[in-house]
Amino acid sequence: MKTVGNLLWLLCGGIITAIEYIISSFLMMVTIIGIPFGLQTIKMARVALWPFGCKVTDSGNNGGCLNLLMNVIWIFLGGIWICLTHLLFGILLCITIIGIPFGRQHFKLAALALAPFGKSIS
């Protein structure tokens, strides 16, 4: 079922979302300062490409203040808008029973988009 869900996800916009994340990551990696933020968008592209079966968890190593600082900077640089977009799509998809699994994947992406530093994908 995960494979079928992922294929439907790709056909209904998942591939476009992943491509947008990859393009934005390359644009962020133009500067040395943007490299950590670009790596986080690649992490989100991975989840956006194949979300069913992916789990987003807190990474075992605590970055402490550095993760907190990078997440705050991330939110101000546009993470809040990415999160709100995924929340909106998640709510719209959860209106129908058929869309609930896809809405849950948007909620997973929204949580990752709000604070990607210190998270790992499994």
pLDDT greater than 70 at residue 13: yes
Specify the pTM.
Answer: 0.86
Q: State the chain's mean pLDDT as an integer.
A: 89
* Contact between 52 and 9 (Cβ < 8 Å): yes
pLDDT greater than 80 at residue 62: no
All structural domains of the chain with their residue ranges: 2-121
pLDDT of residue 59: 77
Average pLDDT over residues 67-88: 91
pLDDT of residue 27: 92
pLDDT tens profile 23-60: 999 999 999 999 999 999 999 999 999 999 888 888 76
Report CA Rg, the chain: 14
* Contact between 80 and 114 (Cβ < 8 Å): yes
- CA 104/CA 94 separation, integer angstroms: 8
Q: Which of 20-29, 59-68, 91-100 has the lowest mean pLDDT?
A: 59-68
pLDDT of residue 63: 67
pLDDT greater than 80 at residue 115: yes
